[in-house]
Amino acid sequence: MIVEARDLRKEFVVRTKAGRFRRTRRTVAAVDGVDLGIEPGEMVGYLGPNGAGKSTTLKMLTGILVPSAGHVRVCGLAPVPERTRLTRRIGAVFGQRSQLWWDLPLADSFALLRAVYRVGAADHARRLSECVELLEMEPFLRTPVRQLSLGQRMRGELTAALLHDPSLLFLDEPTIGLDVVSKEAVRGFLAELNQRYGTTLVLTTHDLADIERLCGRLVVIDHGRVVHDGTLAALHARYGSRRRLVVELDSPGPPLSVPGASTEVVEAEGRRQTLALDGPLPAVVAAVAAAAPLRDLRVVEPAIEDVIRKLWS
Ligand SMILES: Nc1ncnc2c1ncn2[C@@H]1O[C@H](COP(=O)(O)OP(=O)(O)OP(=O)(O)O)[C@@H](O)[C@H]1O
């Protein structure tokens, strides 16, 4: 396993003013016994509502925060005591901690990072040119970082996190605030990285398109605890979201009644009907075709919005 956490915990003591002189101490269990095992090559979405404990977990996995309790190994290393070694094995893109030098052009930051990580010149040049090409960074490589758009800077951050060839990449909200084109560029790049090199990705996101595109597995946390660990399909199944079949019929007719589906919406005097699927699609399609002359049909996947809303409510 590339990430291994057992009963991982982090408590924060929060002091709040109560009256003029008195202060009260309150303990917040930000991460409250998380178990997590991630195999090399996985793409895992670490999801949850605001304040669920996502960032705190990532900080413990990357050696930024000391856990209050629990066992944690990342790339076989103990993150805090072996942080220097771990830094060479992992990459991290956390919005609030930039790896770039603001007054320097991107190209200079990349050159400095080569020295920081002591990467060989040939390896560095190869990886850099690959990132520049895939992320289309050529036009702004010589621009000082502070003048870059958010989307351009995020591409720079991704490159900076990858120049030392990590096998594991942590990303905290990698597409937040980006324009549509940059969002797509980042998603495409990450998917390519995973496919081409088997890089393990662990990301937090609130973006549903990120989830659909990049997270083969979803680990959902709430109040510091894991409440779901599985595929998106499993999440849909668990929360009862169903695929829908929309059929266009040749002529008006009564609501369809076929095994393996329930008719939800009837429009245009029955010419168009929406059925929620409970059984296998081919059997339902065959039954519909037998019941009425079909003109057209399409399958609508369950909306991830629905399932996430149910999860948070
Ligand atoms: N340094 C800190 N001191 C005190 N409390 C903290 C600290 N950091 C986080 N917390 C609290 O711990 C809980 C979890 O916070 P965390 O930032 O991990 O959540 P999150 O899931 O990343 O949220 P978001 O989606 O908003 O980023 C929250 O209640 C937060 O207020």
Query: DSSP H helical segments within the chain, as ranges?
Result: 54-61, 83-89, 106-117, 121-134, 150-162, 180-197, 208-214, 232-238, 281-291, 304-312
CA distance 140 to 149: 10
Q: For position 313, what pLDDT does the model report? A: 64
For 122-141, what is the mean pLDDT?
93
Question: Is the minimum distance from the CB of 235 to ligand 1 under 6 angstroms?
Answer: no
CA distance linking residue 254 with residue 166, whole number of Å:
60
73 forms bridges with which residues in the sheet?
A: 4
Q: Are the C-beta atoms of 264 and 241 separated by less than 8 Å? A: no
Average pLDDT, the chain: 91
Whole-number pLDDT of residue 82: 96
Query: pLDDT tens digit string along 160-193?
Result: 999 999 999 999 999 988 888 889 989 999 999 9
Distance 313 CA to ligand 1 centre (A): 19
Confidence class for position 232, pLDDT limits 50, 70, 90: confident
- Neighbour tally for 198: CB within 10 Å: 11
User: Looking at residue 119, what is its pLDDT?
Assistant: 87
Nearest of 191, 189, 243 to residue 216 by alpha carbon: 191
Nearest residue to 215 via CA among 43, 96, 82: 43
Tokens 């999440």 belong to 235
Asked whether 9 lines ligand 1 (CB < 6 A), one says no
Q: pLDDT above 90 covers what percent of the chain?
A: 71
Higher pLDDT, 267 or 312: 267
Q: Is the pLDDT of residue 43 over 90?
A: yes
In degrees and rounded to multiples of 5, residue 232 shows phi and psi of -65, -40
276 vs 208, which has greater pLDDT?
A: 276
What's the pLDDT tens digit per position in 67-89?
A: 999 999 999 999 999 999 999 99
Nearest-atom index, ligand 1, CA of 224: 14
Q: Is 48 in the pocket of ligand 1 (CB under 6 A)?
A: yes
Could you tell me the pLDDT band of residue 265, with boundaries at 50, 70 and 90? very high
Given the cut 0.90, state whether the ipTM is greater than it. Answer: yes
